Amino acid sequence: MKLPKIQFPKSKPSKRSLDQEISHRILVLSGTILVIFLIIFIRLVYIQVFSYDEYTAKKDDYTSIQQYVSAPRGQIYDVKGRVLAKTVVSHNIVYTSPNNLSAEDYELYAQRVVEVFDIDVDQFSELDKQDAYITYKSFLDPDDKEYGANHLLTTKERNEYETGLWGDAAEGRRHQILISRIGKDEINEMSDEELKMAIVYQRMTENASTGQENVILQDVSDQDVAYLVEHKSDFPGFDVDFGGWKREYPYGESLSDVIGTVSSSTEGLPEEKADYFLQRGYQYNATVGKSGLELEYNDILAGTSQVSKITYDSKGLAHKEVVREAVKGNDIYLSIDIELQQYLDKVLKSILENNAGASKRENFSSLYMCIMNPNDGSVLALSGYQIDLDTKKMTYFASGCYQQLFNPGSSVKGATVYMGLSEGVVKPNEVIIDDVMNIAGQEFASYENHGAVTDIDALAVSSNVYMFNIAIRMGGAVYVEGEPLNIQDLSGTLERMRYYYSMFGLGNVTGLDVPNETTGYMGIAKEPGMLMHYSIGQMDMYSPIMLLQYVSTIAADGNMYKPSLMKYIKEVNSEQIIDVGTGQLKSTLPTENQEYLERVQLGFRTCVTKGNAGDDMKNIKEGVAGKTGTAEVQDKWTTAVFVGYAPYEKPEIAFACVAPTSSINTGDVAENICAYDVVPTVVEKYFSIYPAEGYSETEE
């Protein structure tokens, strides 16, 4: 029998226990709130007391702009401490754009600057004026067909630009096209006042969005400085930079293209190299090297920029606080002797002026020479000139010594003889008959038949036939009169010959510390006769600096040093030398072949002592060793070359001189102008500056 479930009545909680529960919960909640407020309080105290500077700095970082101003540039000196590139004080009017100006405001203040300050339009470059024309046309209504100078674009170009077909490079490409088409007619559309106003406006707005300081006017007068200081309220954003600088080159033309140039403070980064410098941490307004050694050693010369923190007040005006002072760039000392350099410039210029276009020299229009210490690679001087044969206008072109290529002619026969002796295809003092060679009906000969000659004689009298025999034997062939040459591996033989030439640096970039050194030109051998041409310097082409390295290797007993213009780098206002540029040994000829190199040295000396380089060269008391060269150019002209060194017993200098197309190519060829006119006087000048010990007034 199932019993019924009995339910007992539930007891109700007392009022007292309920109050206790509520009080407990309120207490927990209150405690939690108290802890939270305590944490907040402690955090606020920590931020406001202990981390105030840190958070203030973070706030400033978010609300301020860093501004960079180029440091004064290090100077460039010659080997005796004479300044070749000088940094001088320049008071500049600079501008940091307020953050609330309209286009009309920029126009207003640009016009005010033009009206008040003395601005010479002649100080503006051609590029400044071309850019000003684009800016001038940007003042037009956007609907005007000439707005922004876009009327200079073709219809196709304009459509591609406006439809975005040029992509991210659109503005740069448009600018390049416009600059190429803006000439004198377009620039003359502007009055001088409009030109000035457009340039000032352009400089004011160039870095407006970045907060960077721009130089508006460089090297202004004391009167203009005083006026701006007294009337700054009339020129918001404008100031005077009393720490500004500019570059000067006291020796003018001498070595000018080798030293190079820097961008002006109003120019900033040159457009064609902007990406390069931006990647290296420079700002758009930085003053940097544009060419030559100024570019090559820019990071050393540039120093460390001044960094300022820019904040803006309620009126939108910028306020500057310097957070890092500028550190001036380091100085560079070159191996160049500017006295010798100027003398070399004078000699080359005079000889070219007096002989260019003369009888037998109708196509003579350029002349080059470079000088080096063969014992460490220090370049002592290098020069070059070009002349327009019609107008007689001279152009300085010292950089042509490492940017131009020429056939070296017989000057490279030293490498050919060394190769022949080293390969065992000829023996020291072996006699070969210098007479006309007939190869399959084609004649090969020296300038004149020299009869029986040895390796030494072959260098002294410049025997082509001796070199031809070396080339033939290198190819494994045998000369039979009237028969063709049977060279099995033409390209392999040429490669082997080039290997020997490269041991002297011929055909290789020398590594001279300049931008844009050219490589050699290598011809292609399609027939055996080309090997013979190669052996006498009539195929491959080299720069004068390559020829200088070649003869320096001979002078230095087989040691090849990297040519260098930089002698050492020194900290500003310090004797601390940071880096040394000279004395870098690149390679050495095999010691087991030293006797063969000595044969070449003796051949070079005999060339001079027998008078084959002229009496003036022969009579230099310190004793010169050298080799002439005459390279045919288009069968009509010849290029004169002379390479050598002195003193013969203990060389101090090596030199290479090249006079392209300096004579007609006939039996009435003009004398080698390098050997007879250029080199003797320059070598004597060197020894007047640096007398060689142990030499009397008479020849050794």
- Give the pLDDT confidence of 636-655 residue by residue, as tens digits: 999 999 999 999 999 999 99
Asked if residues 494 and 477 have their Cβ atoms less than 8 Å apart, the reply is no
- Give the pLDDT confidence of 474-488 residue by residue, as tens digits: 999 999 999 999 898
Asked if residues 361 and 662 have their Cβ atoms less than 8 Å apart, the reply is yes
337-376: string of b/e by CB count within 10 Å (b at 16+)? bbbbbbbbbebbbebbeebbeeeebebbbbbbbbbbbbbb
- Give the pLDDT confidence of 345-366 residue by residue, as tens digits: 999 999 999 999 999 999 999 9
For the record, the structure tokens of 36 come out as: 């939270």
CATH code 3.90.1310.10 region(s) in the chain: 65-94+217-226+239-331
Interacting residues of 400 by C-beta distance below 8 A, sequence separation 6+:
366, 368, 384, 386, 544
Interacting residues of 387 by C-beta distance below 8 A, sequence separation 6+:
352, 353, 356, 365, 366, 393, 394, 395
CATH class label, 339-689: alpha beta
Whole-number average pLDDT of the chain: 90
Interacting residues of 392 by C-beta distance below 8 A, sequence separation 6+:
353, 356
Q: In the CATH scheme, what is the code of domain 65-94+217-226+239-331? A: 3.90.1310.10
When pLDDT is averaged across residues 115-135 and rounded to a whole number, the result is 92
Residues 51 and 56: their CA atoms lie apart, in Å, by: 8
3-state class (DSSP) for residue 13: coil
Asked if residues 528 and 294 have their Cβ atoms less than 8 Å apart, the reply is no
Residues 128 and 202: their CA atoms lie apart, in Å, by: 10
Reported for 3-11, long-range contacts at CB under 8 A and 24+ positions apart, including other chains, are none
Query: Residue 620 above 60 pLDDT?
Result: yes
pTM of the model: 0.85
| 331-334/76-77 β-pairing | parallel
Q: How many CB atoms lie within 10 A of CB 304?
A: 14
According to the model, what pLDDT value does residue 296 have? Answer: 96
Lowest-confidence segment of 93-102, 449-458, 595-604 by average pLDDT: 93-102
DSSP state letters, 381-420? EEEEEEE-TTT--EEE-TTHHHH--B--GGGGHHHHHHHH
**Cis geometry, peptide bond prior to residue 647 (ω within 30 degrees of 0):** yes
pLDDT-derived band at 566 (thresholds 50, 70, 90) equals very high
CATH code 3.40.710.10 region(s) in the chain: 339-689
Asked if residues 74 and 327 have their Cβ atoms less than 8 Å apart, the reply is no
pLDDT-derived band at 62 (thresholds 50, 70, 90) equals very low
| Cα–Cα nearest to 221, from 93, 109, 55, 110 | 93
